[in-house]
Chains A and B, each alone.
Chain A
Amino acid sequence: MVRFLLSRLAQSVFILIGVTMITFALAFLVPADPVRMIAGRNATPTVVENIRHQLGLDRPIPVQYASYLTRLAQGDLGRSYMQRTDVSTLIASRLPATLLLMAGAIFFELLIGLSAGIWAATRRGRFSDKAVMVASFVGVSAPHFLLGLLLLYVFANLLGLFPLGGYGTWRHLVLPALTLGIAGGGWYGRVMRSSMVDVLRQDYIRTARAKGLKERKVVLVHALRNAILPIVAMIGLDIGIFMSGAVVVESVYGWPGIGQLAWQAIQVIDIPIIMGVTLTAAVAIVIGNLVADLVTPFIDPRVRL
């Protein structure tokens, strides 16, 4: 157990170091010179050289990478070209909104995915099973921006049930979280269905039925406990999909999270912000995978580390 934990932690650290190497390398691919972007078009060569020196961009690349790592370790993600603020401050101020959105999305994802999956599994082969599976495919195949704009149009514009965007009350959260939740719910529904179908075939379920338990109790209590295990691992993996989806959904709904921050940065090609958000998302994904791996043995005693 301890050995597994340590090797898994070491693996995560290596991945994070690799991630920083890639983000660092990406910053070098930028054809637009960051110094020029800060200095403006009419700057004299001396000013340009001064800024270059100030930013440390005239030092050798390994030295720059080392200082980049040192700064990252201190929580310094660099400064935004346009907003003249620390990227880490910007991300820290935006992160709570994104985490709230994710929590809401996980809620809808589980609600949609579990109920659809269980419903389809107990009606296997019938029309309603097939209908649910087609619906889950539609959910998976729908681009986030289409779902977001459609929900916005129907529930906010036509019916006026929810605000057209923004942040503040639970009403603002429903539509963006639902948008992210529908796509994830499609995946969950498919996994839940096949997992439930497998579990319902097992002997202990036959025993439960044979001793006269109501079908409802057999499915929702006895079978669900085992069938839900693959879903738990998926929640950890979902963070990556959410981080990508958040960029689209937050821009559609004007949700002030790090996705919107990235989207605003794209429009002005503010590389430090894009890199900062990418790095934050990568860290979140690594942690999510780690947690998923570590939690599984606690909920499923059959998994031995």
Chain B
Amino acid sequence: MSDASRKFLRNRLALAGTLVILLIVAGGLGAPWLAPFDPHEQFFDGLTLEGAPLPPNEKFWMGTDLLGRDLFSRLLYGARTSLIIGVVANGAAVAIGTILGLVAGYVRGWVGAAIMRFTDLMMAFPALLLAIALAAIFSPSLWIVALVIALVNWVQIARVIYTQTTSLATREYVEATRALGANWPRLLFVHVLPHLLPTILVWSTLGIATTVLLEATLSFLGIGVRPPTPSWGGIIFESQSYFLDAPWLVFFPGVAVLLMALSFNLVGDALRDALDPTQRGR
């Protein structure tokens, strides 16, 4: 493990990604103290005399939105939405994927086959369209959006965990434990699961990037987290029609989404390099 952590620490991109993630987390958690203004307050001086939003200036660092609200404060609070969705939705997806992959990989037989055929089936659905269908059906709140994303995103992890479990299940130590009389849930979760933790860590990190992008896209399409809750994709959805005149309303939240997804991708990729022995020397 020390070898892996040394390898990770030598990767400067991954460290930069970690730093950005920490900044976003700090910004989201500290939003009430860091935000210069209330994210919901519509400022009288936040709009021009014609009622147009203000570009970035001394008072409003990132400009104002169509209702004269401070964009920087809204971005800080929007980080919370992205982080909550990232942690909850991705956590649920990882949990579902891990449990199904473990069970399918160990139990085999018709149960395993049924689970894996179901994941094949889910792979055939375009993730965004399935999420759109689900989000259009349930009226979207923060938790529904998280649920929808979890229901779409568990597939990849289930497949990876399945493949690794099938090879782990043939190891002698598993057979020995079974001979000692351990029942299969105990065997799986106490003896097999720990070996899968590096894989789970890598895929959880990469999964947050996917999740953040999916949430932003759903919000951009108008079926994500409902206003007035600030969300990065939602800010772009609200100001889309105005964006040729007020490009900062798209640029800042868009770059925030990009930075967050990029950071998790960089960190996840570096973790994979550090933890996966087959990737050595590339």
Contacts and interface: CB of A to CB of B under 8 A. Distances in A.
Interface stretch (B37-45, B164-172, B255-263): B255-263
B13 A134 contact: yes
Interface string B235-270: 010001001100100110011011001100110010
Given A14-B117, A19-B121, A146-B257, A137 B221 contact: no
B90 interface: no
Interface in B116-137: 117-118, 120-121, 123-130, 132-134, 136-137
B282 interface: yes
A106 B222 CA distance: 28
A91 to B, nearest CB: 13
A248 interface: yes
Nearest to B262: A141
Nearest to B120: A15
Contacts of B282: 194, 197
Contacts of A140: 265
A245 to B, nearest CB: 8
B71 interface: no
A179 interface: no
A285 interface: yes
Given A143-B213, A243-B129, A263 B221 contact: yes
A54 interface: no
B209 interface: yes
Interface in A241-270: 241, 243-245, 247-248, 251, 262-263, 266-267, 269
Interface residues of B, number: 46
A138 B258 contact: yes
A153 B258 contact: no
B154 to A, nearest CB: 15
A26 B134 contact: yes
Given A26-B133, A26-B137, A251-B221, A244 B213 contact: no
The B contact surface, by secondary structure, is helix
Contact of B236 (A14, A145, A153, A285): A145
Given A22-B121, A141-B258, A269-B136, A157 B244 contact: yes
A137 B266 contact: yes
Interface string A129-160: 00000100110111111100110010001000
A143 B217 contact: yes
B124 A262 contact: no
A98 interface: no
Contacts of A248: 128, 217, 220-221
A199 interface: no
Contacts of A157: 244
Nearest to A194: B282
B138 interface: yes
Contact of A19 (B124, B138, B213, B255): B124
Interface string A1-39: 000000000010011101100110010011100000000
For this complex, into which size category does the number of interface residues on chain A fall? 35 or more
Given A140-B265, A243-B129, A271 B138 contact: no
Given A142-B258, A146-B254, A146-B257, A247 B128 contact: yes
B140 to A, nearest CB: 11
A134 B265 CA distance: 11
A277 to B, nearest CB: 6
Interface string A93-112: 00000000000000000000
Nearest to A270: B136
B216 interface: yes
A141 B213 CA distance: 8
A291 to B, nearest CB: 14
Given A153-B243, A194-B282, A15 B121 contact: yes
B262 A31 contact: no
Interface string A218-244: 000000000000000000000011011
Contacts of B129: 243-244, 247, 262, 274, 277-278, 281
Contacts of B85: none
Contacts of B261: 141-143
B254 A274 contact: no
A286 interface: yes
B280 to A, nearest CB: 13
Contacts of B258: 138, 141-143, 146
14 contacts: A18-B124, A19-B125, A138-B258, A143-B254, A146-B255, A149-B243, A240-B127, A247-B129, A278-B125, A278-B126, A278-B129, A282-B126, A285-B123, A285-B125
Interface of A: 11, 14-16, 18-19, 22-23, 26, 29-31, 134, 137-138, 140-146, 149-150, 153, 157, 194, 197, 240-241, 243-245, 247-248, 251, 262-263, 266-267, 269, 271, 274-275, 277-278, 281-282, 285-286, 289
Given A22-B121, A247-B132, 15 more contacts: A16-B124, A19-B121, A19-B124, A26-B133, A31-B139, A134-B13, A143-B233, A145-B236, A149-B254, A248-B220, A266-B221, A271-B136, A271-B137, A286-B124, A289-B124
